Amino acid sequence: MKQEETDFEVRSLDTMCVNESELVHPWWYNFKYAAVGVIFGIVFIKAEIISWFRIQEMFKLQSFHMYGVIGTAVVVGAISVFLIKKLKIKTVHGEEITFTNKKFNKGQIYGGLIFGLGWAITGACPGPLFAQLGSGALAIIVVIASAMAGTWVYGKFREQLPH
Amino acid sequence: MIEKLTQPWPWYVAGAIIGLIVPTLLILGNKHFGISANLRHMCAACFPSNIPFFNYDWKKESWNLFFIGGILVGGVISTQYLSSPDPVIIHPDLAKELTQFGITDFSGLVPIQLFSFESLFTLRGLIMMVGGGFLVGFGTRYAGGCTSGHAIMGLSDLQWPSLLATISFMIGGFLMTNLILPYILAL
């Protein structure tokens, strides 16, 4: 039980995935998330969100496209979250939908700046990397492996970094 | 219909669909939209190395790995069946600038002259693929999320630390594209 608690602490600090569901589903239930992923992957490609050129245009203020995509997504997402909270909508399995408040730590600034630098070089955040790979740019496997290495090094030296 | 689908989709369509992924994941199983955590799950699954940060029950988060698996398949499907024959339109100023650095192939979403196995053997390619990837993996975990976890999910839930993170992403990106990247591209 103790182990579980620290586990939650660690995860709620570092990721949005704080899945404390008590329900146990067969593993293949996860395919519903894969189906959502497929739609996301198609949007990534068809709206050219995974295009290195679109990302450069965004950071050079040469195109409104990416601002439009992210802005619309946030507005639609925010309205949805508001409605879910307001109407106390439950999951399809009847579970309560929960939200965890994010706590401030300096990592959001330092790490954010570091990620921003990498985003502009690779022209991709983590999601688009997988869509790029799917689109046939096989060399992106190197970028993904390197991103894993970056995550690993962060995990290794986490205690020494300012948070 | 298919004709419309193969054209590049406008930002408001893409933005609305991405925004709807937030409630879809919540309603399907109380899952919070996020992607970069997968890099951590992959580390935890493959190289936990006794590092406390990677010693957790990653299988509990396996939905997230299915999610990115889906993204990959979505990439395959849209490239195979929904791709447009027209070249990607690029801002003329950007095209002009990139041409100075020898980047002339604008046919793909990923510039083949920068991101390919061959370019790994050039200093420029090595810095961009390996260095860039490293910064993405290190930075997202240090920040506790990426564009999806912070900029979309976090902002949708009106979390101010996510706003700080998103502003930091943008500052980092502006610095790189406008001040540092020209030097890397000149290599």
- Cα B168–Cα B174–Cα B177 angle in degrees, nearest 5: 135
How far is the C-alpha of B86 from the C-alpha of B89, rounded, in Å? 9
**Distance in angstroms (rounded) separating the CA atoms of residues B28 and A90:** 9
pLDDT at A7 over 60: no
What's chain B's average pLDDT? 94
> What chain A residue is nearest to B65 in terms of C-alpha separation?
A34
> Residues in chain A, how many?
163
Instruction: List the single residue in A42, A50, A75 with the smallest CB-CB distance to B19.
Output: A75
The percentage of residues in chain B with a pLDDT greater than 70, rounded to a whole number, is: 100
Q: Does the pLDDT at position A16 exceed 70? A: no
pLDDT (mean) for B96-111: 93
Q: Which of B126, B135, B179 to mutate to test the interface with A (most CBs of A within 10 A)?
A: B135
In this predicted structure, the answer to whether residue A141 has a pLDDT above a threshold of 90 is yes
Average pLDDT, chain A: 88
User: In this structure, what are the phi and psi dihedrals at residue A135, rounded to the nearest 5 degrees?
Assistant: -75, 0
Distance of CA B33 to the CA centre of its chain: 14
- Is A13 a residue whose pLDDT tops 80? no
- Note the ipTM here: 0.95
Distance (Å) from the alpha carbon of B180 to chain A's nearest alpha carbon? 9
B130: chain A residues, CB-CB within 8 Å:
142-143, 146
**Contact across the interface for B56 and A97, Cβ inside 8 Å:** no
Q: State residue A3's pLDDT score.
A: 41
Give Cα A101 to chain centroid, integer Å: 16
Which one of A33, A116, A151 has the shortest CB-CB distance to B40? A151
> Please, which residues have CB within 8 angstroms of residue A161's CB and are 6 or more apart in sequence?
A107, A110, A154, B142
pLDDT of A25 reads 82
Pick the residue from chain A with its C-alpha nearest to B52.
A155
This model's pTM is above 0.90: yes
Query: What's the whole-number mean pLDDT along residues A4-8?
Result: 45
Confidence at A2, pLDDT banded by 50, 70, 90:
very low
pLDDT at A1: 33
- pLDDT for residue A27: 86
Of residues B1 and B117, more confidence is placed in B117
CA separation for the pair B160, B115 (Å, rounded)? 35
Size of interface A-B (CB pairs under 8 A): 542
Q: Tell me the Ramachandran region of residue B9: left when phi exceeds 0, alpha when psi lies from -120 to 50, beta otherwise.
A: beta
User: What average pLDDT does the segment A37-57 reach?
Assistant: 95
Is the pLDDT score of A5 beyond 50? no
Partner-chain residue, chosen from B31, B82, B146, that has the shortest CB–CB distance to A42: B82
Tell me the C-alpha distance between A148 and B133, whole Å: 8
- 3-state helix vs strand vs coil in chain B, percent to 5: 70, 0, 30
Give the pLDDT band (50/70/90) at residue B60.
confident
Distance from the Cα of B25 to chain A's closest Cα (Å) equals 7
Residues in chain B with CB shorter than 8 Å from the CB of A144 are 133
Residues of chain B contacting residue A104, judged by C-beta atoms under 8 Å apart: 160-161, 164
Contact assignment for A43 to B66 by CB distance below 8 Å: no
